[in-house]
Amino acid sequence: MSISFDKALGIHEQALSFRAQRAEVLANNIANADTPNYKARDLDFSKVLAEQNEIAKNGHFALNMTNSRHIEAEGVGSGDESLMYRTPMQPSIDQNTVDAQLEQSNYAENSVNFQASFTLLNSKFKGLVSALRGE
């Protein structure tokens, strides 16, 4: 009898990965708070996770190739199209849309959620280990 980590861990492994990706985007926004014309971006975590959950439920998808010279697309939907531009609350003279306080609060919230996801995954692994040991 084999253990399927995909079934045992569910979507939590991908959630942890998306939270790490969102932390990177938010940190990039904070680092560019004084860069003229920089546009703040963010990852809609719930939307990206829902899309990945649909892909996982329905299996992998394939694109129809109408010409033999078309390049096969793998991993469609995992690029920059999941990143959205943030609408500024207050316009700035240099056209920068980063609100440092908002970015820092989003980063803090994301790090708390990352820690919660990590703790959940850790408990799942502990459960798997105890099941393997027969405890």
Query: What pLDDT score does 109 carry?
Result: 96
Average model confidence (pLDDT) for the chain? 82
Residue 20 CA to residue 111 CA, distance in Å, equals: 9
Give the tens place of pLDDT for each residue, 106-129: 999 999 999 998 998 898 888 888
Residue 119 CA to residue 113 CA, distance in Å, equals: 10
Query: What pLDDT score does 77 carry?
Result: 46
Q: Tell me which range, 9-18, 39-48, 52-61, is most confidently predicted by mean pLDDT.
A: 39-48
Give the tens place of pLDDT for each residue, 24-46: 999 999 999 999 999 999 988 88
Q: Binning pLDDT at 50, 70 and 90, where does residue 3 land?
A: low
Residue 123 CA to residue 115 CA, distance in Å, equals: 12
Global confidence as pTM: 0.73
Backbone angles phi, psi at 42, to 5 degrees: -150, 160
